[in-house]
Amino acid sequence: MPFPKVSIVFCTKCKWNLRSAWYVQELLQTFGSELKEISLIPGEPGEFKVLGYQTEGSQPIVIWDRVVDDGFPDSKYLKQRVKALIFNDEVAIGAHIDRKSKSSSAKETLVSEKINQCSTDDQNTSCKDCET
């Protein structure tokens, strides 16, 4: 199997299919042939994770987890994390993405939870909309 690779695990009941496909497109456009595989994997209710694998048999690297990271990343921030965690900052991905904004903060780089299509409980660990 080709490496490095990225897998996006997402809840289909939350209708995160298009969001996940958009992230795939963004990663492909930015990393081109540097990433050898990008996959979409239907996950558990409320789940959204971006996982990276550097080599065959390696443990997955959690690039993004909706629960832990409190929402969804904007594409610029996701690309920066892929570059740092999968490529050890050795791949150039463009000056506009590599450059740190003066006003950049974790809060500004996240897509607001208010626009999510999923209502979560107080611990933000399960999805009320897609529970069966």
Choose between 116 and 42: higher pLDDT. 42
- Taking only Cα atoms into account, the Rg of the chain, rounded to an integer number of angstroms, comes to 15
pTM of the model as a whole: 0.75
Report the Cα–Cα distance between both ends of the chain, in Å, rounded.
36
In a domain, 123, yes or no: no
Q: What pLDDT was estimated at residue 17? A: 96
Give the integer Cα–Cα distance in Å for 33 and 63.
Answer: 19
The residue that leads in pLDDT, 107 or 62, is 62
CATH number of the domain that 24 lies in?
A: 3.40.30.10
In a domain, 132, yes or no: no
Query: 90-122 as b/e, with b when 16 or more CB fall inside 10 Å?
Result: ebebeeeeeeeeeeeeeeebbeeeeebebebee
Considering its fold, how many domains does the chain have in total?
Answer: 1
Asked whether residue 126 is assigned to any structural domain, the reply reads no
What pLDDT, in 10s, does the model give residues 74-85? 999 999 999 999
Q: Is residue 23 part of a domain?
A: yes
Q: Percent of the chain, pLDDT > 70?
A: 70
Helix pair angle (17-31, 75-86), 10° resolution: 60
